[in-house]
């Protein structure tokens, strides 16, 4: 089986729980460290699937790797090679397929309820009978739903939390890949952003984010398993 390419955009925004999930299923991976200067591959066909993680930059920034990533995503979609995006990664998928990325009405940082909102049952395969869950957020922008995609999830502070395209591509605004180590690291790395955004009704303090993490992460990982289990079904085996 070809490896799944995982695109990292910041050192502290790695694969997290997704890496554990892939390991349990013996799925080979290769890390493309955009933050370390690794080039964006030219051929999507070299991989079983593509995964794009988060990052503090905007899809609208004039960074050379962004246009290269968008081209690679479009190529993958045309070849039916599954694409999975987390936060910035979800925005890349949306933008590549004709959506827009704009400022969300408020910054959304911390734990918050996410609701399933598919009206045509596209979520049955992805979430089973799960209707809502407590997810993790860290974003100031949001994506529109690209043409042909179906809206899967929303939250009180962000109408577009996830979409599914062609039954095999999943774009997430929220983070289901979180681990306790990642949450602690993000709170430390993002301390200045937290301080400047504390007037947002959707921003939690670092202490609130780190309270009761074991129980919260156990629920989050249950949701992640549902989503990741469905996504890996579409991986190219040859």
pLDDT tens digits, one per residue of 19-35: 999 999 999 999 999 99
pTM: 0.97
Please state which of the ranges 91-95, 121-125, 145-149 shows the lowest mean pLDDT.
121-125
Residue 109: C-alpha distances to residues 120, 121, 184, 202 (Å): 29, 29, 13, 6
Residues 6+ apart with CB under 8 A from 74: 96, 97
Sort residue 87 into left (φ over 0), alpha (ψ -120 to 50) or beta.
left
The rounded distance, in Å, linking the Cα atoms of 142 and 158 is: 7
The rounded distance, in Å, linking the Cα atoms of 24 and 9 is: 24
pLDDT grade for 40, boundaries at 50, 70 and 90: very high
How many CB atoms within 10 Å of residue 233?
A: 11
Contact between residue 158 and residue 108 where contact means Cβ atoms under 8 Å apart: yes
Name which of 38, 32, 44 is nearest 6 in CA terms: 32
pLDDT tens string 72-92: 999 999 999 999 999 999 999
Residues 6+ apart with CB under 8 A from 46: 2, 5
Sign for the pseudo-dihedral over CA of 135, 139, 143, 148: negative
At residue 37, φ and ψ (nearest 5 deg) are 95, 5
Q: Is 94 helix (H, G, I), strand (E, B) or coil?
A: helix
Which segments of the chain does DSSP mark as H helices, in order? 17-24, 64-78, 88-96, 124-127, 180-189, 191-196, 206-209, 213-232
- Eight-class DSSP state of 107: E
Average pLDDT, stretch 51-59?
Answer: 97
Average pLDDT, stretch 49-67?
Answer: 97
Contact between residue 113 and residue 99 where contact means Cβ atoms under 8 Å apart: no
How many CB atoms within 10 Å of residue 88?
A: 27
The gap from C-alpha 47 to its chain's centroid, in whole angstroms, comes to 19
Using CB atoms within 10 Å of the CB of residue 175, give its burial: 0 to 12 exposed, 13 to 18 middle, 19+ buried: buried
The dotted CATH code for 4-232 is 3.40.50.880
Domain coordinates of the chain in residue numbers? 4-232
pLDDT grade for 167, boundaries at 50, 70 and 90: very high
pLDDT grade for 119, boundaries at 50, 70 and 90: low
Average pLDDT, stretch 191-218?
Answer: 94
- Eight-class DSSP state of 42: S
């Amino acid at each position: 089986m070809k490896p799944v390419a995982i695109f990292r955009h910041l050192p502290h925004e790695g694969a997290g729980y997704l890496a554990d999930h892939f390991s349990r299923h013996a799925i080979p991976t290769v890390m493309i460290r955009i933050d370390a200067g690794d080039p964006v591959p030219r051929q999507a066909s070299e991989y079983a699937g593509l995964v794009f993680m988060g990052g503090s930059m905007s899809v609208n920034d004039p960074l050379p790797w962004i246009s290269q990533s968008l081209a690679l995503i479009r190529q993958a979609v045309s070849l039916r090679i599954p694409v999975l995006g987390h936060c910035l990664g979800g925005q890349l998928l949306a933008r590549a397929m004709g959506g827009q990325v704009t400022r969300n009405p408020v910054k959304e940082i911390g734990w918050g309820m996410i609701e399933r909102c598919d009206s045509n049952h596209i979520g049955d395969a992805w979430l089973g009978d799960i209707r809502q869950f407590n997810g993790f957020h860290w974003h100031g922008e949001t994506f529109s739903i690209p043409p042909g995609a179906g809206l899967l999830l929303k939250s009180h502070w962000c109408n577009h939390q996830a979409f599914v395209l062609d039954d095999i591509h999943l774009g997430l605004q929220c983070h289901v890949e979180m681990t306790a180590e990642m949450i602690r690291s993000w709170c430390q790395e993002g301390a200045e952003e937290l301080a400047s955004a504390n007037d947002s009704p959707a921003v939690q303090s670092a202490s609130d984010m780190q309270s009761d993490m074991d129980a919260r992460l156990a629920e989050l990982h249950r949701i992640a398993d549902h989503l990741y289990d469905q996504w890996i079904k579409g991986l190219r085996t040859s």
